[in-house]
Chains A and B, each alone.
Chain A
């Protein structure tokens, strides 16, 4: 579904992505893990073309995203690490605005709006919101238009346990619908039940890309989180 071929990215002199080659298939829930500053977010943003690679190509459903035009992103829902919104807009306005910009989507997925009881907060200005509520808005927006790909950058950070659980369930059901889910998280435990593949990145390079089963077999740990922390420690050492 998404194919990344020899992607490099430099910010000034610093190389953030180094020769990334990945194939991300349909129906997978992929965890993108690695120490801080390893290039996870940059990679995600490259897929969204919010960051433009210095070299290399990224293909979305077989089309090079550099030339295919921005409409491919209609199929992607993106939840940023820190959602930034115009301060003077209300929650309702933000959601309506985005909705009005994407009026071509017929069937909206309003599950999260309902589950988070967001409609009661529609009149609140973005500037008055807590970090958690902002995250809820981000989550709502990423799922709202029924995308086939979800890119979630630290989705549960700042969410209360109940909200996090709601989101996790939503992710699971999305996976069951056959969507491709890319997710980064530092909370390894919560990934356990969610994911099917793991990509481990370090210093801008992909160290490995394996399915959860293979990984567990290799390490011998029963729990994924332990397996991963094993790698994180090894990588850091």
Chain B
């Protein structure tokens, strides 16, 4: 009986005391090669990699391991190999500088690729000049956190995404800094995942890109100077809170591009200095609330294919055009927004303007039809046209109005 208790207590308490073996790799250590150390390790061992340059081709991780770098060891793919390939659950990678992966468009080599795995944590690494930074495929419950991911792509075809997730589930992507990739973060068929406080800068295509991904949420990220800030396409129930879309600027640049999506919630975001703050096409039943749009060329472009969207309590400040559309039908609702261009009055002092606001200007309609008309922006004639249109609407749709504009910043 006593021996049984001893056996049982060893069985239950052992994981608390025994963490697995500690293996060291580096000059003057037992192992010089990471791959050899991995091969020799038992599951749940920890491998410490010392400072140094390691060129080992492709390194395969096929058992649960913790790999920790000390003094940023450089693991180099020599522009030929995928650096790490992980096909095991419970792997943790931390503190490595993973660099110069191979580049090819066929097998998508990456700095760290995770295949069909669960509970993998990729944390505080420096992924430098890789084709793809971190690549997850058929994976679940993984965390990508605090990595610095940087590449020097110049054209879309020549570079992969910073964090690429495909057919995965329940991921957490947070606190990463991603620069110079094709898309900063790319989601395709990824569900129930969240993206927090990342910073995507100067990526060639999008800062963040959703395709066919449902029930995801992203919050407090900053997207700056990307081809376009964020694109959400063919997806459902994606929520977007408190993100900053800044300076996404150029010929076809958007802060946020929504295409064929529905049932999401866009709230508390800030859209500043974008060519187009939010571009909506085939977008239905979205709630756009309490966002701030300032200094954009167009705060929102809502194509005629959009229905039943609610645009409420947003602030529109110093935008060239507040809203523009290509059609005449009005199937979306504007309510209680603050428009800095509103020149109405509030006689009963309830904070609600007594006359409706028309966010669509005549000139906005003209520019939508002939973009080169932008040449006349702020000319005296355009001023006259807009004023006369305000009094006698002819070109702009009658019901394209905010019937109860807020008098004050919301």
A adjacent to B, CB under 8 Å: no
